[in-house]
Amino acid sequence: MSLLVVGSVAFDTVRTPFGEITEGLGGSATYFATAASFFTDVRLVAVVGEDFPKEHIAFLKQRRIDLAGLEHSMGKTFRWRGEYGYQLNEAKTLQTDLNVFQTFHPKLPFSYTNTPYVFLANIDPVLQLDVMKQVSSAKLIACDTMNFWIDGNKEGLVKTLAGVDILIINEGETRALSGEFNLVKAANKILSLGPKALIVKRGEYGALMFNGKKIFTVPAYPLESVFDPTGAGDSFAGGLMGYLAQNAPDGRIGDKVLRQAAIYGSVMASFCVEAFSLDRMRSLTQDDIRRRYAEFVDLSSYEYQT
Amino acid sequence: MSLLVVGSVAFDTVRTPFGEITEGLGGSATYFATAASFFTDVRLVAVVGEDFPKEHIAFLKQRRIDLAGLEHSMGKTFRWRGEYGYQLNEAKTLQTDLNVFQTFHPKLPFSYTNTPYVFLANIDPVLQLDVMKQVSSAKLIACDTMNFWIDGNKEGLVKTLAGVDILIINEGETRALSGEFNLVKAANKILSLGPKALIVKRGEYGALMFNGKKIFTVPAYPLESVFDPTGAGDSFAGGLMGYLAQNAPDGRIGDKVLRQAAIYGSVMASFCVEAFSLDRMRSLTQDDIRRRYAEFVDLSSYEYQT
């Protein structure tokens, strides 16, 4: 089944203790779409400026990502500059130039409006809601958000969440959105706002998935070298949603398929952080993905009989 | 098989956002022994002062813990006072009165010297090494340590580690001991010092277990109410070593039994934090433990076939 992502395409300038990259390809929609493209057909809605090079277009096309929804605007592409210390879980933003993303108002090509699977990356919840209206027959909608919207437009966000099936956010966002420090209590509050499932991303510690009945602990892959955590969260969402679009075609997300999807999310995030920008995705194969899923099993399985 | 623990018995005064307790029963040996007593026979070596009440002795005896090695000294029992914020992973120490623990020099009763399973809780590595010499026929030795010894007597600690089978420490200690930030690299360095397995405790995020060939991600139980994290690490070690003493009688710790033991460690830690002091252990049953193990399976299992 086709999967739509609405979000950002950007140039990221990133410094970590292990190196740096200047104006590498980045953005939430880029990471998500690329990760998901290993599982299903992806349609992308985003905006770039006049400076967006053909080679990036060629890469996305090579991943068979539908770019009918990629708007080319007068002006410059969104740029982000940040750095990470050894504690790679949190980026320090040094500069944000929204440029053409500032006035981004996602408008779906007609060919996209029947897309059954939808991921709303971290954009203004008002725009997220507007996209939801444009894909009124969607079977499954997931979304991300950030503290900027939780603090700045909680009312709008709550309206959006009422129509969302899966919310994928990090620990700090979970606490800010719910007003609860304890994650179990926080999850119960957030699920009461509408989502059928909440996935709390915890960086190198993996993730927790809540569906109101059960909790699933999603392991992270302990890597010997993490080069750049930028995009890990969107790659996680891309792996998860891509797997669901491929394996839950009726849009019903049972516990079993959702758990497997979360593991694939963690698999794709583990590849993402192995190199700067999307570079690890450029050489990634289906065999690599299968092998790492098997490594996750090896990493987290134990005898269930006592 | 019998299991020996050498460590502290203390009175803890603890404040958390959820309440406080004054001079509750605590100490590394107390938490370890109590958790392990649900799995195997435990022998305890520690020291208390003249102020140690009979009711605590009665509790430990009721748990069938052998107290032949509990020394009663002139003076006061070790006291610790600390507090936790909402971020329950790290305690802030407000006061430490070592009292009789200051001059503690563990001397094993003759009846203990043939104990096959040994846990050296966080004490001076010189004393740990001395205990190891007193149990020269031990089949399996595990130990804990802390930054105070890593910074203050690394040479002594390294000598101790050469004879240790399992090292159980937290993330910060792993980094300090190895000089490596990345945990995979850190584990490889530490395993080269002697231990056959390293378990890195990560508080609410669970633990990572390294044996030089494989890594195992140990989940933590997401609790809706955590009252007091004091003793969680020692309860983890107690569950783990108690299970090994019960189920790996030849002292050989294969990957399979070690993974199960780590889950039992996480099970016992999850009970520990549900109440102040050892209070949750007072009413705990074998059925509670079996049920929580099953909940761990439910929490962390997924389809292995893709």
Q: Using a CB–CB cutoff of 8 Å, tell me whether B202 touches chain A.
A: yes
For residue A249, name the pLDDT band (cuts at 50, 70, 90).
confident
Cα-Cα-Cα-Cα torsion B166, B168, B169, B174, nearest 10 degrees, comes to 30
ipTM, two decimals, is 0.94
Compute the distance between CA of residue B290 and CA of residue A91 in angstroms, rounded to an integer: 41
The average pLDDT across B35-49 equals: 98
Dist CA A269 CA A59 (whole Å)? 19
Cβ–Cβ < 8 Å for B261, B35: no
CA distance A289 to chain B (A): 11
Say if CB B180 and CB B189 are below 8 A apart. yes
Q: What is the 3-state secondary structure (H, E, C) of A74-128?
A: CCCCEEEEEECCCCCCCCEEEEEECHHHHHCCCCCCHHHCCCCEEEECCCCHHHH
Q: Which of A245-249, B118-122, B187-191 has the lowest mean pLDDT?
A: A245-249
* B225/A306 Cβ within 8 A: no
B290 contacts A184? CB cut-off 8 A = no
Predicted model pTM = 0.96
- How close B215 comes to chain A (CA, Å)? 6
Of B208, B262, B304, the CB nearest to A297: B304
Indicate which of A174, A185, A205, A217 best probes the interface with B, i.e. most B CBs within 10 Å of its own CB: A217
Residues of B in contact with A184 (CB under 8 A): 222-224
Specify the range with the lowest mean pLDDT, choosing from A16-20, A62-66, A280-284: A16-20
Q: Strand (E) positions, B207-272?
A: 207-210, 215-218
Which of A268, A302, A303 is the best mutation test for B, with the most CBs of B within 10 A? A302
Q: pLDDT (tens digit, 9 = 90+) per residue, B2-22?
A: 999 999 999 999 999 889 999
Q: Per residue in A22-61, is it b (16+ CB within 10 Å) or e — as a string?
A: ebbbbbbbbbbbbbbbbbbbbbbbbbbbeebeeebeebbe
A306 interaction partners in chain B (CB closer than 8 Å): 260, 290, 293
Percent of chain A surpassing pLDDT 90: 92
d(CA B181, CA A86): 7
Q: Using DSSP, state whether B16 is helix, strand or coil.
A: strand
Q: Closest Cα to residue B109, out of B2, B25, B32?
A: B2
| pLDDT (tens digit per residue) in A86-138 | 877 778 999 999 999 999 999 999 999 999 999 999 999 999 999 999 998 99
Give the residue from A73, A86, A63, A58 showing the smallest Cα distance to A5.
A63
Closest CA to A260 of A302, A289, A286: A289
Q: What is the pLDDT of residue A306?
A: 66
What's A200's DSSP letter? Answer: E
pLDDT of amino acid B207: 98
- Among candidates A202, A219, A256 on the partner chain, residue whose Cβ is nearest the Cβ of B217: A219
- The tens digit of pLDDT for each residue in A192-239 reads 999 999 999 999 999 999 999 999 999 999 999 888 999 999 999 999
d(CA A216, CA A262): 9
CB atoms within 10 A of CB A112: 22
Average pLDDT value for chain A: 96
Is a pLDDT exceeding 70 seen at residue A173?
Answer: yes
B36 pLDDT more than 70: yes
CB contact under 8 A, B306 and A225: no
Dmax of chain A from CA atoms? 64
A134-151, pLDDT tens digit by residue? 998 999 999 999 999 999
Mean pLDDT, residues B247-274 taken together = 94
Amino acid at A265: G
* Spatial CB neighbours of A134, under 8 Å, sequence gap ≥ 6: A106, A107, A108, A112, A113
Among B296, B228, B302, B225, residue whose Cα is nearest residue B264: B296
- What one-character DSSP code corresponds to residue B193? T
Q: How crowded is residue A159: how many other Cβ atoms within 10 Å of its Cβ?
A: 17
Q: Does A212 touch chain B (CB under 8 A)?
A: no
Helix axes B125-134, B154-161, angle to 10 degrees: 30
Judged by a CB distance cut-off of 8 A, whether residue B18 touches chain A is no
Predicted local distance difference test score (pLDDT) of residue B115 = 97
Which domains are delineated in chain A?
A: 3-300 (3.40.1190.20)
- CB contact under 8 Å between A303 and B260, yes or no, is yes
User: How far apart (Å, rounded) are the C-alpha atoms in residues A222 and A84?
Assistant: 18
Res A38 pLDDT > 90: yes
**Alpha-carbon span A106 to A7, nearest angstrom:** 9
Q: Once rounded to an integer, what is the mean pLDDT over residues B100-120?
A: 96
For A238-303, give the secondary structure using H, E and C: HHHHHHHHHHCCCCCCCHHHHHHHHHHHHHHHHHHCCCCCCHHHHHCCHHHHHHHHHHHHHHHCCC
Q: Is B299 close to A206, i.e. CB distance below 8 A?
A: no
* Residue B140 burial (C-beta neighbours within 10 Å; 0-12, 13-18, 19+): buried
Comparing A25-39, B54-68, B101-115, B248-262, the range with the smallest average pLDDT is B248-262
C-alpha of B87 from chain center: 21
Classify strands B117-120 and B3-6 as parallel, antiparallel or unpaired: parallel
Contacts of A304 in chain B (CB under 8 A): 297, 301
> Which residue from B182, B222, B259 is facing A224, i.e. has the nearest CB?
B182
Residue B306 has pLDDT above 70, yes or no: no
Cβ-based neighbours of A201, under 8 Å, separated by 6 or more: A168, A169, A170, A171, A207, A233, A236
* Diameter of chain B measured on Cα atoms: 64
